Amino acid sequence: GENVEQHPSTLSVQEGDSAVIKCTYSDSASNYFPWYKQELGKRPQLIIDIRSNVGEKKDQRIAVTLNKTAKHFSLHITETQPEDSAVYFCAATFYSGYALNFGKGTSLLVTP
């Protein structure tokens, strides 16, 4: 599938600080960009998503921004809490929207 690159691979922040994770994609036809949170031993769960006709979306402490021209999108978590500690995956559609390609993940650690 098409490439989705994600950075950083690990991120450690103190409780209350902000965390930013960035992804780039290669398929200009990609039109849907979800973010999944996966806690240890559990399934990935959708936390926020954005479509190509929107530049920014916010849900409480979580926001996602999309720059279609530059083909990159970012996850922003404000006022981080220890329960935010998990692996976060970005993803982008390919195959004309039938499948998702995931980034390699960012392991976020929020220390009290």
Partner 1 sequence: DAMVIQNPRYQVTQFGKPVTLSCSQTLNHNVMYWYQQKSSQAPKLLFHYYDKDFNNEADTPDNFQSRRPNTSFCFLDIRSPGLGDAAMYLCATSSEGADSPLHFGNGTRLTVT
User: Which positions touch partner 1 (CB under 8 A)?
Assistant: 1, 31-32, 34, 36, 42-46, 49, 51, 89, 93-95, 97-105, 107
Q: How far is the CB of 91 from partner 1 (least distance, A)?
A: 8
Residue number, 55 or 99, with CB nearest to partner 1:
99
Residue number, 77 or 92, with CB nearest to partner 1:
92
Q: What angle do CA 57, 21, 92 make, to 5 degrees?
A: 65
For residues 32, 36, 54 and 25, what is the CA-based torsion angle, rounded to 10 degrees?
A: -60
CA distance 66 to 110: 25
Q: How far is the CB of 59 from partner 1 (least distance, A)?
A: 13
